[in-house]
Amino acid sequence: MSAAPIIVRTEKALRAQISKWRLADHKIGYVPTMGALHDGHLSLITFARKHTERVVASIYVNPTQFAEGEDLATYPRQEKSDIRKLGGAGCDLVYIPKSGSMYDRDHSTQINVGGAALGLETDYRPHFFGGVALIVTKLFNRVQPDIAVFGKKDYQQFLTIRRMTTDFDIPVRVYGAPIIREKDGLAMSSRNLYFDADARLVAGQLNKIMRVCAKEIKNGSHIGTATAKAKRALLKSGFQSVDYVAAADRRNLSLLRGPIKDRKARLLIAATCAGVRLIDNCDI
């Protein structure tokens, strides 16, 4: 389980290894990441291992999902320790495309995402899901996995990718895996590395406030009242701004209002603490 994974940096070497496994009739699971790996990422490798003989991870900080002024240049890069962690989790191959080898100089095609991709994150990061859809499509085409595993930590992203995969007849089964959290409930994230001790304490309040809000809605509170209360609680506990606290249909993220009655719903939050934008979500 903890053998060193094969490292490939070119599309050619990747395709050669995938072909060998295919000839041996091995099914392939795939976990795309941007690196700076933590136990949340590694849980996706474990998830994939349960379904397929071979597990591939990629590490690529994708420029098309960052906007001007976001943290593309400073996004944490920890290749050596990432490879070690992936090997320990049972990953067979790590694909680390050379920067510049992913997008052709004349790349011209964009993907216009809809459905669950609309609203929420898109209201604040309009470039984001188009960029994610593009890189995931390219990576799916290169890796050609049977299954791919995404974290529900990025719930809107998971639904967007699953929808796109269905809409484009991409022969990959997309799974959503549970959110892995720190002891105080903060969802693990590569960007948690940006926090100093004080900010980290504030960040830990996000999950607690989210849980209270979800419970209130479940118990019949009006969604507008409960989410407004959660926003006030976040600001009071030290968050500098709150982008949204919203209840949405669990399958397509259409926004819900009033009491939820029998709808299967998800509560989604985005808020900024010490300059770091956090997202989280849970079932209601």
Residue of 55, 93, 134, 188 interacting with ligand AMP (CB under 6 A): 188
- Based on the shown chain and the rule CB under 6 A, indicate whether residue 179 belongs to the binding site for ligand AMP: yes
The smaller minimum CB distance to ligand AMP, of residues 140 and 150, is found at 150
- Based on the shown chain and the rule CB under 6 A, indicate whether residue 153 belongs to the binding site for ligand AMP: yes
The smaller minimum CB distance to ligand AMP, of residues 52 and 190, is found at 190
Residues with active-site annotation: 41
- Based on the shown chain and the rule CB under 6 A, indicate whether residue 151 belongs to the binding site for ligand AMP: yes
Q: Determine contact, residues 207/220, Cβ cutoff 8 Å.
A: no
Least separation in angstroms between residue 278's CB and ligand AMP is 11
- Based on the shown chain and the rule CB under 6 A, indicate whether residue 57 belongs to the binding site for ligand AMP: no
In the chain, which ranges are continuous DSSP H helix? 11-23, 39-49, 79-89, 121-124, 128-143, 155-167, 197-203, 205-218, 223-236
- Based on the shown chain and the rule CB under 6 A, indicate whether residue 33 belongs to the binding site for ligand AMP: yes
Least separation in angstroms between residue 40's CB and ligand AMP is 2
Q: How many residues interact with ligand AMP (rule CB under 6 A)?
A: 17
Structural Rg of the chain based on CA atoms: 19
Number of H helices, E strands in the chain: 9, 9
- Percent helix, strand, coil in the chain, to 5, is 40, 20, 40
- Based on the shown chain and the rule CB under 6 A, indicate whether residue 187 belongs to the binding site for ligand AMP: yes
Residue partners of 88: CB distance under 8 A and separation at least 6: 1, 2, 42
Residue partners of 261: CB distance under 8 A and separation at least 6: none
Residues that bind ligand AMP (CB under 6 A): 33-34, 40-41, 43-44, 150-151, 153-154, 177, 179-180, 187-190
